[in-house]
Amino acid sequence: MPLLHISMRAGKPEAYRQAILDSLYRAMREALNVPDGDEFMTISEIEPANFRCGNAYGVSRSEDAVLIQITVFASRTPEQKKALYRRIAELLGESPGIRPEDVFVNVLDAPKENWSVGHGIAQFA
């Protein structure tokens, strides 16, 4: 049950943004075995004056940097997360063509009782 928030500079065409969503969904299916149809993702386009990514940690980022925050059940292993990071960078490189240096991913673990996916109930608690 991943929940994704993607932030990027405004100005890319719809096909580019859809390719990001498609690649992220594919990476989650492959690395985290999320079920078919488990797609809860948003893209926020930020005006360039309001979006800043530095070049810290030995990574030289461009204006095409994307910030991806993924909230998941607190049951994912470090190995699954590492596989997810690799697969996201690979797939975003293929489509829409984002350099691996421009892919910033943050995974947040949340207990299952912190989720309600509809009807006002905690389906996983």
Q: What does the alpha-carbon distance between residue 32 and residue 12 come to, in Å, rounded to a whole number? A: 28
2, 35, 48, 100: which is the annotated catalytic residue? Answer: 2
* Token pair listed for 28: 């989650």
Interacting residues of 57 by C-beta distance below 8 A, sequence separation 6+: none
The answer to whether 2 is a known catalytic residue is yes
Nearest Cα neighbor of 9 from 48, 56, 38, 43 is 48
**Which residue numbers are catalytic?**
2
